[in-house]
Amino acid sequence: MKGNIQTLILAVLESGPLHGYGMVREIQARSEDALAFGEGTIYPALKALERDGFIEGAWDTSATGPARKVYSLTQNGAYELARRRDVWRRFTHSIDQVIGGEQSVQPA
């Protein structure tokens, strides 16, 4: 999970800008609550993605309550997401090839 959280963040930001808590909710909603993780783990990943130029943050002070940092995907982030999607699909395809799934096991 830890290694993939950056990819999940890039994927949810593809639909539009979000703040940290919004991303957590979106990931949980898309996975139908199957992906459980400490919500705070999103912040180190956001720092890394922002430093690498894949996302950019801006403070939103318009809403009521404390100011929120809203992130959006950059052009480089979109390329990176496409690359990670490709890697992930090739990986899952390889695993599928090995473990199969349709054939029933016949006792010897």
Partner 1 sequence: MSNPPDQDQPTALREEFLDRFARVIEKCSPMERFETLSEIRAHLVASAAAYEELGLSPVEAMTAAIDSFGDIRKIGREVMIESASPERSRLSGFVSVGVGSISSAMLFPLADAAFVVTHTVSNPSPGMAAIGAVTGFFLGLCLFLRPRTLPVAALRAGLFVPTILLILVCLLNRAIPGLKFLGLTFLGFGVVNAMAAAFVVRSLRFVPTVRGRKLSAK
Query: Nearer to partner 1 by C-beta: 40 or 107?
Result: 40
Q: Please tell me the distance from the alpha carbon of residue 53 to that of residue 74, in angstroms, as a whole number.
A: 7
Query: Nearer to partner 1 by C-beta: 15 or 63?
Result: 63
* Contacts with partner 1, residue ranges (CB under 8 A): 2-3, 6, 19-22, 25, 37-41, 43-45, 47-48, 51, 65-69, 84, 87
DSSP-derived secondary structure letter, 38: -
Query: Nearer to partner 1 by C-beta: 61 or 104?
Result: 61
Q: How far is the CB of 107 from partner 1 (least distance, A)?
A: 38
Q: How far is the CB of 105 from partner 1 (least distance, A)?
A: 31
Nearest to 37 by CA among 9, 61, 67, 17: 9
Provide the 10 A C-beta neighbour count for residue 23: 21
Provide the 10 A C-beta neighbour count for residue 5: 20
